[in-house]
Amino acid sequence: MRRTNRIVALLLAGVMVAGSITGCSGSIKKKSAKLEKGDITDSSIVITVGDQGIKYSEVKNYCYFLKNQYEGSFGEKIWSYSVGKDTTIGDEAKEEVINMVTQLKVIKAAAEEQKVKLTNDEKDEAVQKAEEMIQTATQQDKQEYYLSVQSLSDIYEENALADKMFYVATDDVDNNISDEEAKQIKIQYLEVITNGTNASGKKVELNEKEKVTALKRVQQLKTQLTQADDFLTFAKANTDAADAELTIGRDTTKLSKEAIDAAFALEKGQMSDVITGSDGYYIIKCIENNDTDDTQAKKEEIIASRQTKMFKKKYAQWLKNYDIKISQAFWKVLQI
């Protein structure tokens, strides 16, 4: 389901929660689903999460969110695109919808246990969003996806509650991050690649003799750089890499470790000597040795990552309390 994780993560307004938990519910398995006899109707209970029953109409509401979000950009044929043997994007997407629905039910139950509720303003906002969405739906969509203001507002409420629970569950996350850990610097650089993929997408893998020639080339470029009017213009004209300017942290994967270490040792405006990295030879100029805005953004990114990790762990504990079953009859008829 990795190909559609981003699609489903953007289904609702609470993007971060949806994205954070997608794929957590590993216990959802079609083989453990209880078979249901008879035709599937809008009121059929097609999924159970513990003692909670989820109706077919509610699942179809979620399908409409997916349809509404992506057919406008990619067209109606997106769901039939093949992503593997006998598997389409539509097959993967409907499984993700089922995951999303069940995850929200588990979180809702946890919220009830912890007495976490939405405010009246938050409920009113859910109704407003539902009204806006129903106004753009065609009559055919309203019938096919069982859409109503009430059903859509219920979905928006559940998602808002999940968003709230994310912050409640991660309220005690460690927010202490040193400036050095998050530090971001801005550099311009030129690279002669010895092992990797160049800007044209061509694989480069030099032998020892070729590396000697490459080293001589980059040494000549270094001499020319000292006389160049503009480092960036010269670098763009002579580099093998796809980029010539980057904002990086210690954890960047776009440069070799040797290049990163050398870049962080530079002062603002300083240019390095030729650096031998595991993937090539570098010449680096430091443009900003402490980009405060990007450093703050990195701190927030680290905190968000810690929150996500903590939330996934707590969600896994909540999930253990529920037996999740899915109707195979429903699975066969469900379409985005």
Provide the domain limits for residue 267: 185-289
Same domain, 25 and 152: yes
CATH number assigned to the domain comprising residue 223: 3.10.50.40
The span from the first CA to the last CA of the chain, in angstroms, equals 15
Cα distances (Å, whole numbers) of residue 71 to 58, 74, 80, 102, 253: 20, 5, 12, 24, 34
Verify that 220 and 317 share a domain, yes or no. no
Take residue 245 and report the two structure tokens written for it: 């300017």
Co-location of 101 and 26 in the same domain: yes
Residue 105 lies in a domain: yes
Total of domains in the chain: 2
The predicted structure's pLDDT at residue 38 = 62
Same domain flag for 12 and 119: yes
Q: Is the pTM of this model over 0.85?
A: no
Work out the angle at residue 96's Cα, subtended by the Cα atoms of residues 95 and 102, and round it to the nearest 5 degrees: 95
Note whether residue 103 is domain-resident: yes
Same-domain status, 76 and 144: yes
Measured CA to CA, the distance from residue 140 to residue 261 in angstroms comes to: 60
Residue 179 within any structural domain of the chain: no
Strands 275-276 and 280-288: antiparallel
CATH number at residue 80: 1.10.4030
Same domain, 126 and 240: no
pLDDT by residue, tens only, the chain of 336 residues: 333 333 234 333 333 333 333 334 444 444 443 435 568 889 888 888 888 889 999 999 999 988 888 887 888 888 888 887 788 888 888 888 888 899 999 999 999 999 999 999 999 999 999 999 999 999 999 999 999 999 999 999 999 999 999 999 999 999 999 989 999 999 999 999 999 999 989 999 999 999 999 999 999 999 999 889 999 999 999 999 999 999 999 999 999 999 999 999 999 999 999 999 999 999 999 999 999 999 999 999 999 999 999 999 999 999 999 888 888 888 888 888
Are residues 111 and 73 both part of a single domain? yes
Three-state SS across the chain?
A: CHHHHHHHHCCCCCHHHHHHHCCCCCCCCHHHCCCCCCCCCCCCEEEEECCEEEEHHHHHHHHHHHHHHHHHHHCHHHHHCEEECCEEHHHHHHHHHHHHHHHHHHHHHHHHHCCCCCCHHHHHHHHHHHHHHHHHCCHHHHHHCCCCHHHHHHHHHHHHHHHHHHHHHCCCCCCCCCHHHHCCEEEEEEEEECEEECCCCCEEECCHHHHHHHHHHHHHHHHHHCCCCCHHHHHHHHCCCCCCEEEECCCCCCCCHHHHHHHHCCCCCCECCCEECCCEEEEEEEEECCCHHHHHHHHHHHHHHHHHHHHHHHHHHHHCCCCEEECHHHHHHCCC
Alpha carbon distance 299, 181 (integer Å): 8
The verdict on 219 and 256 lying in the same domain is yes
Within a domain: residue 69? yes
pLDDT of residue 23: 38
Rounded to the nearest 5 degrees, what angle is found at the Cα of 37, between the Cα atoms of 33 and 42? 85
Pair (161, 257) in one structural domain: no
222 Cβ neighbours under 8 A, 6+ residues apart? 273, 274, 283
Contact between 23 and 5 (Cβ < 8 Å) = yes
- For residue 125, being part of any structural domain is answered with yes
Cα distances (angstroms) measured from residue 80 to each of 77, 132, 224: 6, 29, 54
In degrees, rounded to 5, the angle at the alpha carbon of residue 8 between the alpha carbons of residues 79 and 297 is: 135
